[in-house]
């Protein structure tokens, strides 16, 4: 079972965890980290390094980041990718991705990430008035 690190701007990571636990109950080995407005990049990089040091296990750590190219994601890439063998970062954090990451926790980390990417794409739907037209014409 891999551990999860949720990283975001502001309090988004914490709120994702709160919402996840509202739906699926209390969860273990998930840590939310948010870059705060008053926090510098270097301070956040220290926090993310310390968090990963505590969470890293033989099954690895899945990092779900809110935004590709944002400071939280870039900090994870710069500080963690070269240091740990079993780190996977998936960007575009959303609720379906987070829920599925819990469902796949018993799977191999690399396999889980590929499934999560596909599942997340499949969870995006376009809804409009034509989506609900009756077929009774």
pLDDT 10s digits, 103-132? 999 999 999 999 999 999 999 888 898 887
Inter-CA distances, 13 with 20, 34, 66, 72, 108, Å: 11, 6, 8, 11, 24
H/E stretch holding 79 reads: none
Quote the CA–CA distance of 100 and 16 in Å, as a whole number: 13
Which pLDDT band holds residue 133 (cuts at 50, 70, 90)? confident
- Tell me the whole-structure pTM to 2 decimals: 0.92
Strand 61-65, strand 30-35: pairing: unpaired
Asked if the model's pLDDT at residue 83 lies above 80, the reply is yes
Of 61, 123, 122, which is closest to residue 90 (Cα–Cα)? 61
Enter the tokens of residue 122. Answer: 């499949």
């Amino acid at each position: 079972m891999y551990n999860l690190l949720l990283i975001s701007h502001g309090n988004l990571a914490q709120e994702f965890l709160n919402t996840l636990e509202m739906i699926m109950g209390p969860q273990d080995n998930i840590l939310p980290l948010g870059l705060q407005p008053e926090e510098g990049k270097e301070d956040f990089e220290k926090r993310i390094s310390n968090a990963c040091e505590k969470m890293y296990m033989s099954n690895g750590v899945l990092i779900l980041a809110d935004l590709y190219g944002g400071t939280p994601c870039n900090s994870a890439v710069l500080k963690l990718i070269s240091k740990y063998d079993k780190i996977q970062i998936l960007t575009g954090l959303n609720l379906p991705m987070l829920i599925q990451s819990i469902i796949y926790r018993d799977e191999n980390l690399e396999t889980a990430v590929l499934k999560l990417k596909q599942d997340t794409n499949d969870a995006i739907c376009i809804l409009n008035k034509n989506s609900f037209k009756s077929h009774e014409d």
